[in-house]
Amino acid sequence: MKKYSRQREALLTELRGRYDHPTAEDLYFSLRAIMPNYSLGTVYRNLADLSAEGIILKITSGYGPERYDGNIKPHGHFTCKKCGKVYDLAGFYEKHIDGQKMVEELQKSEAAKDISTINEIRIMLYGTCKNC
């Protein structure tokens, strides 16, 4: 884990207080309002470090830029294929996905013959949001 910095802590606080899955640029503009010297490069560096350490989620949907989520608990997402916005699917994952059972069954199957370890399960649904 990297040592503490005001910029890193501000980024983490900003991200954990948001539920809109912001892009790096969204976070940059928010942080610049409170820390005028915060650079876009610092945002990208801190996001890369935080996601590599498993403190935040990096969401790559294939529609628009990467987005970030401060909630690392297992949950699903929906991505709008028109605007690229990402939404949480609150309760969906927990109700419909039994991650433990999925991993156990997969490990017994022929499909997993080349898999050593499963670290996480991510569910992403795609479609069009009501705003589009």
Distance of alpha carbon 99 from alpha carbon 63, whole angstroms: 26
At residue 112, the pLDDT reads 81
At residue 104, the pLDDT reads 87
At residue 30, the pLDDT reads 96
At residue 1, the pLDDT reads 58
Tokens linked to 29: 């503009």
Grouped pLDDT means (10 residues each) for the chain, 132 residues: 82 95 97 94 96 95 91 92 91 80 87 84 92 95
Contact 89, 78 (CB under 8 A): yes
Burial 118-127 (b: 16+ CB within 10 A, else e): eeeeeeeeee
pTM: 0.84
At residue 45, the pLDDT reads 95
Task: Determine the topology of domain 6-127 in CATH.
Answer: Arc Repressor Mutant, subunit A (1.10.10)
